[in-house]
Structure 1
Amino acid sequence: MRSEFSPVEGFDPPALGEPYLLTPGPLTTAYTVKQAMLRDWGSWDGDFRSMTADLRRRLLALIGDAKGEYDCVPIQGSGSFCVEAMLGSFVPKDGKVLVLANGAYGLRAAQTMQYLGRAFTLIDKGDYLPPRGDEVGAALDADPAITHVIAIHCETSSGILNPVAEISEAAYARGRKLLVDSMSAFGAIPLEVGKIRYEAMVSSANKCIEGVPGFGFVIAKKNELEKAKGNSHSLSLDIHAQWAAMEKTGQWRFTPPTHVVAAFLEALRMHEAEGGVAARGARYMKNRNVMVEGMRKLGFETLLSDRWLSPIIVTFFCPSDSNFVFERFYELMKDKGFIIYPGKLTVIDSFRVGCIGRMDEHVMHRVVEAARQSLAEMGVASAAPPQAALAQRAKLAA
């Protein structure tokens, strides 16, 4: 039977019987975020139009756009809807994209380009390393047809925090444009336009802002929004059309997720009260540090070196002990109040533990203790990974 959760350091636990979600989103949300969804809203009503305008203003405030060059356009659907909308709207039909991949989400961007039928080329770094600025520069120098670069800010299939600043410098030094998938990083990792140049970025309501799933948003230069007219392959994913409608009427073109918007506004207010991007990122970093230190003491090894570990999610190798079965470990952790994430690597067995959501370092100490107890219940003597996994890591990361 699942144990009850007690409040820790001002952070309410999940509702009785609910586990903490140690995933990159959906994630554990605050009571007040959940409560915000208890009222119904008219999607065309003036009160809801005001909520949409407030949402857009608050998100723009997070990028430090002192010149007023950017605007925010919310889009119904999951994060992948927004990535497809960004690629389909901002890349001209005769454009070409350099896709930077080091995990599933970079590869999904490449797959999206295939579906769009638009030209692209791919740098695939595998699971262990980020794309670097010099590699991007060399690829752009070799192919003058490339008009855009898309980078994943945090690749959650491995947990790598990619160096978007140096990628941006390489792109703009050669007259190209950068698009950023900051799905799992925006709100906790700085992406200020005065420090990192990009034409557009996308993120989602159910990530570092700590809202619930239902929509994402695009933050883009206004001149790029204007140029996007006629580019899109899709009626519902046309960012220019969504933007133009919101500018004219204050309304979403099609039925908005009204309850999700209300919850997100509450999450944005909590984000601001906590101290914004810097404070949210610092809490997640502390969560990661406590959890990684504790898991390593149990014998677990991280996929990545400390240099590339993000404060969003961490990938661990599965132990080599024959008594370790991930599905059993997952259920034991769930019984103790924690839902972890399966691995998403192609060559090595692994699992992931998220660091984001409405929780703090005290919760992460409990995560480590739950892992220790679960290993003991399984009869796992050591959480050390197979030597072959370490050798593979060393080989691929060299």
Structure 2
Amino acid sequence: MNLTQLPDNPYLLLTPGPLSTSKGVKAAMLRDWCTWDNEYNDLVQDVRRKLVSLGGGNHDDYTAVLMQGSGTFSIEAVVGSVVPEAGKLVVMTNGAYGNRLAQIAKMLKINTVVIDFGEVSEARPEKLRQVLESDPDITHVAVVHCETTTGMLNPIAEVGSVAKEFDKVFIVDAMSSFGGVPIDVASLGADYLVSSANKCIQGVPGFGFVIAKTEQLKTCKGQARSLSLDLYDQWETMEKYNGKWRFTSPTHVVRAFYQALLELEEEGGIEKRQIRYRENQRTLVQEMEAIGFQTLLPKELQSPIITSFYYPDSPQFTFAAFYERLKKEGFVIYPGKISVADTFRIGNIGEVYPHDMKHLVKAIEKNMFW
């Protein structure tokens, strides 16, 4: 099909994922793929290689595993497969997604220590150091890179340095940042980095992926607390059978993701995409501040992924009405997710550009009815 024949979306998704995708990514899903076909399995292997390459310099020590489901499925696959029965996990959290990581661990009956920094403070490596010094039984450390509850970007390099100083297995939830912010897994000392197809690589929902240090992953055989979410077994099957998934794979989604990877390369890689996302975010904030809105986070803590804004100071404002008016104008935004302030969120990622941010703010200004 000619891409010009594809209908336009009725609105832009200004969310942290699912997000607006290109017509090329959408068109990639217009044919069917067999999970056993060599052409498809070769494509899966190419996806795995490309993901490891996107993870930075030392490629030989790492591998990639694809896992059906949302990104949370892949987080649970990692937590449930890599922490042994006698292990102990410390989770650094400053939002809903760090809390979810801790909740998963507790549901799996894993001995878990939570370091909670509140919702508007970054994760502090010195606090992790104190905990590791006082508790030698801890074996694993986990942290969220971009906490999309607020848009916070946590200092994972510093956290990883402390984790490795104490010889702990280091898990990074890079769900909303991988592909949009340069990350070198080897330099971080990350043993496992988790992300999803429908985030900064600009694919569609349906699977997550784990970039893992190969030798560390090999120690996890037989540890999984779930059949479907056995990370080691999924990896071993893909290794032995040239990209074959253990259970039915989301073939259309994988094909769309492959197209998204090609488009990332065409854009100039993660560094170039980061420039666009940062310009999206800068333009948004500049335009929003010009009409009286305030950001929740200071600039030094703000990621280029999603931005939280305080509600306007008006008793007539309701998010529900605001949302519906903007949707009619062609924009979908996110409600806030913190307990300490009334906020809403606007995503800066996906197939969107600075001019889209300007059009959004014009629509907001037009609908300032409160």
TM-score normalized with structure 1 length: 0.90
The 5 Å alignment of 1:322-337 reads 322-337=315-330
SS in structure 1 opposite 2:224? Answer: coil
1:288-318 deviations in Å (ceiling 9; x for gaps): 0000111111111111011101100011111
Provide the C-alpha distance between the structure 2 equivalents of 1:63 and 1:82, rounded to a whole number of angstroms: 17
Stretches of 4+ aligned residues off by more than 4 angstroms: none
* Deviation, structure 1 residue 193: 2.7
Structure 1 stretches lacking a partner, 5+ long: 1-11, 381-398
* Deviation, structure 1 residue 275: 0.9
Provide the C-alpha distance between the structure 2 equivalents of 1:75 and 1:108, rounded to a whole number of angstroms: 18
- Correspondent of 2:247 among 247, 250, 254: 254
* Deviation, structure 1 residue 93: 1.3
TM-score normalized with structure 2 length: 0.97
- Structure 1 residues 155 and 246 mapped into 2: Cα distance closer, same or farther (>3 Å)? same
1:196-220 deviations in Å (ceiling 9; x for gaps): 1110111000000000000000110
Aligned twin of 2:364: 371
Aligned residues: 365
SS in structure 1 opposite 2:212? Answer: strand
Aligned twin of 1:41: 33
* Deviation, structure 1 residue 124: 0.8
- Correspondent of 1:312 among 302, 305, 308: 305
SS in structure 2 opposite 1:352? Answer: strand
Aligned twin of 1:77: 69
* Deviation, structure 1 residue 365: 0.7
Provide the C-alpha distance between the structure 1 equivalents of 2:197 and 2:226, rounded to a whole number of angstroms: 22
Aligned twin of 2:85: 93
* Deviation, structure 1 residue 67: 5.1
Two-structure CA RMSD over aligned residues (Å): 1.2
Aligned twin of 1:301: 294
Provide the C-alpha distance between the structure 1 equivalents of 2:344 and 2:337, rounded to a whole number of angstroms: 8
Provide the C-alpha distance between the structure 1 equivalents of 2:27 and 2:257, rounded to a whole number of angstroms: 11
AA partner of residue 262 (structure 1): R
Provide the C-alpha distance between the structure 1 equivalents of 2:222 and 2:342, rounded to a whole number of angstroms: 45
1:255-284 deviations in Å (ceiling 9; x for gaps): 000000000000000001111110111100
- Correspondent of 1:128 among 98, 116, 120: 120
SS in structure 2 opposite 1:277? Answer: helix
Aligned twin of 1:161: 153
The 5 Å alignment of 1:377-396 reads 378=369, 380=370
Aligned twin of 2:48: 56
* Deviation, structure 1 residue 373: 0.8
The 5 Å alignment of 1:1-398 reads 15-66=7-58, 68-250=60-242, 251-375=244-368, 378=369, 380=370
Provide the C-alpha distance between the structure 1 equivalents of 2:133 and 2:271, rounded to a whole number of angstroms: 36
Provide the C-alpha distance between the structure 2 equivalents of 1:285 and 1:294, rounded to a whole number of angstroms: 14
* Deviation, structure 1 residue 17: 4.8
* Deviation, structure 1 residue 195: 2.5
Provide the C-alpha distance between the structure 2 equivalents of 1:21 and 1:52, rounded to a whole number of angstroms: 27
SS in structure 1 opposite 2:338? Answer: coil
AA partner of residue 374 (structure 1): N
* Deviation, structure 1 residue 65: 4.0
SS in structure 2 opposite 1:195? Answer: helix
* Deviation, structure 1 residue 80: 0.5
SS in structure 1 opposite 2:187? Answer: coil
Identity %: 46
SS in structure 1 opposite 2:203? Answer: coil
For the Cα contact (< 8 Å) 2:53–2:59, is it kept in 1?
no
* Deviation, structure 1 residue 370: 1.0
Provide the C-alpha distance between the structure 2 equivalents of 1:270 and 1:368, rounded to a whole number of angstroms: 28
AA partner of residue 265 (structure 1): Y
1:231-258 deviations in Å (ceiling 9; x for gaps): 1100010010001111111200000000
SS in structure 1 opposite 2:188? Answer: coil
SS in structure 1 opposite 2:210? Answer: strand
AA partner of residue 306 (structure 1): K
Provide the C-alpha distance between the structure 2 equivalents of 1:174 and 1:244, rounded to a whole number of angstroms: 29
- Structure 1 residues 194 and 246 mapped into 2: Cα distance closer, same or farther (>3 Å)? closer
For the Cα contact (< 8 Å) 2:310–2:344, is it kept in 1?
yes
Structure 2 stretches lacking a partner, 5+ long: none
Provide the C-alpha distance between the structure 1 equivalents of 2:323 and 2:7, rounded to a whole number of angstroms: 20
Provide the C-alpha distance between the structure 2 equivalents of 1:109 and 1:15, rounded to a whole number of angstroms: 38
Provide the C-alpha distance between the structure 2 equivalents of 1:82 and 1:65, rounded to a whole number of angstroms: 23
Provide the C-alpha distance between the structure 2 equivalents of 1:228 and 1:242, rounded to a whole number of angstroms: 12
Provide the C-alpha distance between the structure 2 equivalents of 1:161 and 1:15, rounded to a whole number of angstroms: 35
AA partner of residue 181 (structure 2): I
AA partner of residue 208 (structure 2): G
* Deviation, structure 1 residue 142: 1.2
Provide the C-alpha distance between the structure 2 equivalents of 1:15 and 1:158, rounded to a whole number of angstroms: 33
